[in-house]
Amino acid sequence: MSRTDAPGTDGTDAMGSDMTGTTAPGTTTDAGAPTLTPEDVRRVGEPLDGRVPEVPAEQAWDDRRLHYDLVAPANRRKFTVIVVGTGLAGSGAAAALGELGYQVECFTIHDAPRRAHSVAAQGGINAARARKVDNDSVHRFVKDTVKGGDFRGREADAYRLAQESVRVIDHMNAIGAPFAREYGGRLATRSFGGVQVSRTYYTRGQTGQQLQVAGANALLRQVARGTVTLHTRQEMLDLIVADGRAQGIVVRDLVTGEVRAVTAHAVVLATGGYGNIYCKSTLAKNSNATAAWRAHRRGAHFANPAFIQFHPTALPLMSEWQSKTILMSESLRNDGRIWVPARAGDDRAPADIPEDERDYYLERRYPTYGNLTPRDVASRAARERIDAGHGVGPLRNAVYLDFADAVARLGRETVVSRYSNLFHMYEQATGDDPLRTPMRIAPGAHFAMGGLWSDYDLMTSVPGLFVGGEVGWGYHGANRLGANSLLSACVDGWFTLPYAVPGYLAPLLGSHVLPPDHEAVLDALEAVRARTQRLLRNDGTQGPDRFHRRLGEILYRCAGVTRTPEGLAQGIAEIRALREEFWRDVRVLGEGSALNQELERAGRVADYLEMAELLCVDGLDRDESCGAHFRADHQTPDGEALRDDTTWCRVSAWESPAPDAPDQRFVRHDEPLTFQAVPLQTRNYA
Ligand SMILES: Cc1cc2nc3c(=O)[nH]c(=O)nc-3n(C[C@H](O)[C@H](O)[C@H](O)COP(=O)(O)OP(=O)(O)OC[C@H]3O[C@@H](n4cnc5c(N)ncnc54)[C@H](O)[C@@H]3O)c2cc1C
């Protein structure tokens, strides 16, 4: 089947019950399920080399740093570097490169750098400093991360993350992040899922906010010094590639509508994750995948797009018209206990259900880790209980997170002091006081482990195009451990890109940025203008948000917590049909020459509609279960993920076919994964 002759969908806007995930994956809406095989939708291309130094994993970063070429201080101002994004990764990279003396052009869709989505992070940031006497270490951090990711990330990248984590906390503290402290003045820590030590640094439930403010201020300091030029309310809509190198971007001014090209010696994308492709996700509505997807269409391979994390402590959906889900931080699982009524269909109020009629299912199934099992395991277990009829709340689509024991043990004051802003947020969202009646939580689309493929130097398959933070793929494998993402964004921004980018630039000394009349610049500008006009001139009847909701419903149903080959094939067919309908019937009101948020959303939804197909193709192709990619046809008798290390111990890095290519199948490039320090083993949290 080609990518364009897919069967139609019945067109229902099936939000409600399907969004709770209670419909079995693979359920068809058309007569007859599509029978796609992986070979129908992809072919295999050349293998990829991650260019990891050929030394033991723990020595790789020292070795690579030693071998990077340097740029002399007086020559740095001769190079221009574009940084797209001002989140933790982007602000760190731009500030550090500016401090070093490079000319940095920094772009954000927001009106101020501190509004980047990192500001929303709640729970904390990990560091392997082993300040508690609980037997933590750099090696244990690597072990937890590699194992937590179910052996589908790069081990050497995890080592770099662990090694640099040791200085991240002091650095962020020095530039203004006020971490929580114990009574004696030492920095406080707590635990997150998938670990048995206490390595998470935090500022109450506002860790992201404090880190982001510190990072944004460091960026603004460089703006004041003149090394960084900040461009707010500018959206990158294309990448300029000339002579096989990334040499600029095309941006649209979101206020005036002006479209222009900016050229440079290198481009860094730090544009965040694509979880919003599911429409109802824990991300801010403005977070989007357009920069990454446009770079992909210009040649940057996309790694493991099916690796999406469903966070177990999101709030359940209450209404089909809800625009997003809200996250309750994983830190709550330190003190909250998760349970459901032991009897299916029990609709008594929680206080009326006696202790022996409750099922603390995580503690029962995973006594070693209990409520702090990794997110993929906790989400799957919740989904299983909900689907088995034990769900609670008006839509029976949630489980309880209960603080009664913690209050009895620690006292209300202590519990409130740890989580007060989260409790407040919950009460604002639901009207319930979580200290009187247990919170109701459910799995929700959250973090993207997949992203633009990059080598060990964070350089994509397009030379000169680098990634930092959630837009990349490297560290987290098939399941990210809580509090490792703020860390990876900081490590990329402050401590990896400032070495790797100069290493790329050094041999380019004396070269000039592309002139504005270069063919590649004009071509990219024209592509953006044509696409914008096509959206504005389409004589359709449905707004872009309607398509986004329908796409999210398809993805939750066909590529959710549990997947089947039939469901994924069905998803591909429905997405193709929805994309065709989008371009036939989307209606974008307003003009291109002024602020037009509907136009912004339409462009992003158009990209999601392309990317979603690849997400399902990747899920169909990866014929195993690993981490958050749980295929019902690959599970142990206990319902745990069953990996296939013989065939799938590798990264799938995808290339999309050109629109006019005779073969419309996606091309999969493989990077084999090897593990030295943490030998391959079956995950066991029981
Ligand atoms: C609710 C929530 C809570 C979380 N809590 C934690 C936590 O406690 N600990 C943890 O480790 N992780 C947490 N995470 C994950 C973590 O916050 C993110 O993975 C991380 O902050 C991403 O940082 P980033 O710098 O990669 O991207 P972001 O912070 O998302 O920044 C993206 C930047 O790119 C810009 N941008 C995007 N597209 C374009 C474009 N086309 N053109 C121009 N600019 C563009 C945006 O304006 C923004 O400046 C949480 C995530 C969520 C959703």
The CA 222 to ligand 1 mean position distance, Å, reads 21
Residue 679 in tokens: 């030998």
pLDDT at 108 exceeding the cut of 60: yes
The CA 116 to ligand 1 mean position distance, Å, reads 6
Residue 387 DSSP symbol = I
pLDDT at 75 exceeding the cut of 90: yes
Residue 524 in tokens: 């990219």
- Interval 75-88 mean pLDDT: 98
Nearest-atom index, ligand 1, CA of 273: 30
DSSP letters along 8-46, please?
Answer: PP------HHHHTT-SPTT--SSSS-----HHHHEEE--
Give residue 118's pLDDT.
Answer: 97
Q: Is 187 in the pocket of ligand 1 (CB under 6 A)?
A: no
Q: Is 295 in the pocket of ligand 1 (CB under 6 A)?
A: no
**Residues whose CB falls within 8 Å of the CB of residue 178, separated by 6 or more in sequence, listed in order:** 203, 210
Give residue 352's pLDDT.
Answer: 98
pLDDT at 586 exceeding the cut of 80: yes
pLDDT at 474 exceeding the cut of 90: no
Nearest-atom index, ligand 1, CA of 207: 8
Per-residue pLDDT tens for 314-354?
A: 999 988 788 899 999 888 999 999 999 999 999 999 999 99
Give residue 100's pLDDT.
Answer: 98
- Interval 490-510 mean pLDDT: 98
Per-residue pLDDT tens for 627-677?
A: 999 999 999 999 999 999 999 999 999 999 999 999 999 999 999 999 999
Residue 561 in tokens: 């917590």
Cβ pair 290, 236 in contact under 8 A: yes
132 vs 593, residue with greater confidence:
593
**Residues whose CB falls within 8 Å of the CB of residue 15, separated by 6 or more in sequence, listed in order:** 320, 321, 549, 553
pLDDT at 32 exceeding the cut of 80: no
Nearest-atom index, ligand 1, CA of 110: 47
Amino acid at site 251: V
Give residue 85's pLDDT.
Answer: 98
Give residue 131's pLDDT.
Answer: 85
Question: What's the pTM?
Answer: 0.94
Specify the range with the lowest mean pLDDT, choosing from 51-60, 105-114, 168-177, 181-190: 181-190
Nearest-atom index, ligand 1, CA of 88: 25
Cβ pair 607, 289 in contact under 8 A: yes
The CA 517 to ligand 1 mean position distance, Å, reads 34
Give residue 22's pLDDT.
Answer: 36
pLDDT above 90 coverage of the chain, percent: 90
Q: Is 208 in the pocket of ligand 1 (CB under 6 A)?
A: yes
Q: Is 200 in the pocket of ligand 1 (CB under 6 A)?
A: no
Neighbours of 513 (CB within 10 A): 16
Specify the range with the lowest mean pLDDT, choosing from 3-12, 37-46, 216-225: 3-12
Residue 125 CA to residue 599 CA, distance in Å, equals 36
Q: Is 484 in the pocket of ligand 1 (CB under 6 A)?
A: yes
Which residue's CA lies nearest to atom 38 of ligand 1? 271
Mean pLDDT, the chain, whole residue set: 94
CA-CA-CA-CA torsion sign (354, 356, 361, 366): positive
Domains and CATH numbers, the chain: 16-46+518-672 (1.20.58.100), 311-445 (3.90.700.10)
Q: Is 325 in the pocket of ligand 1 (CB under 6 A)?
A: no
Neighbours of 484 (CB within 10 A): 29
pLDDT band at 16 (very low <50, low <70, confident <90, very high): very low
Give residue 10's pLDDT.
Answer: 30
- Interval 422-450 mean pLDDT: 96
Closest C-alpha to 490, from 157, 129, 91: 91
pLDDT at 475 exceeding the cut of 90: yes
- Interval 274-286 mean pLDDT: 96
The CA 403 to ligand 1 mean position distance, Å, reads 29
| CA end-to-end span of the chain | 43
Specify the range with the lowest mean pLDDT, choosing from 19-33, 111-125, 138-152, 354-368: 19-33
Q: Is 209 in the pocket of ligand 1 (CB under 6 A)?
A: no
Q: Half-sphere exposure of residue 575, counting CA atoms within 13 Å on the CB side?
A: 32
- Interval 161-174 mean pLDDT: 96
Q: Is 279 in the pocket of ligand 1 (CB under 6 A)?
A: no
Q: Is 495 in the pocket of ligand 1 (CB under 6 A)?
A: no
pLDDT band at 417 (very low <50, low <70, confident <90, very high): confident
**Residues whose CB falls within 8 Å of the CB of residue 659, separated by 6 or more in sequence, listed in order:** none
Neighbours of 609 (CB within 10 A): 24
Nearest-atom index, ligand 1, CA of 281: 53
The CA 286 to ligand 1 mean position distance, Å, reads 10
The CA 212 to ligand 1 mean position distance, Å, reads 10
The CA 90 to ligand 1 mean position distance, Å, reads 10
CA-CA-CA-CA torsion sign (83, 115, 273, 375): positive
Angle between helix axes 597-621 and 565-585 (nearest 10 degrees) is: 150
**Residues whose CB falls within 8 Å of the CB of residue 127, separated by 6 or more in sequence, listed in order:** 165, 166, 168, 169, 199, 201, 487
pLDDT at 308 exceeding the cut of 80: yes
Q: Is 483 in the pocket of ligand 1 (CB under 6 A)?
A: yes
The CA 216 to ligand 1 mean position distance, Å, reads 13
Give residue 33's pLDDT.
Answer: 63
pLDDT at 410 exceeding the cut of 80: yes
Q: Is 426 in the pocket of ligand 1 (CB under 6 A)?
A: no
pLDDT at 8 exceeding the cut of 60: no
pLDDT at 615 exceeding the cut of 80: yes
Give residue 319's pLDDT.
Answer: 84
pLDDT at 151 exceeding the cut of 90: yes
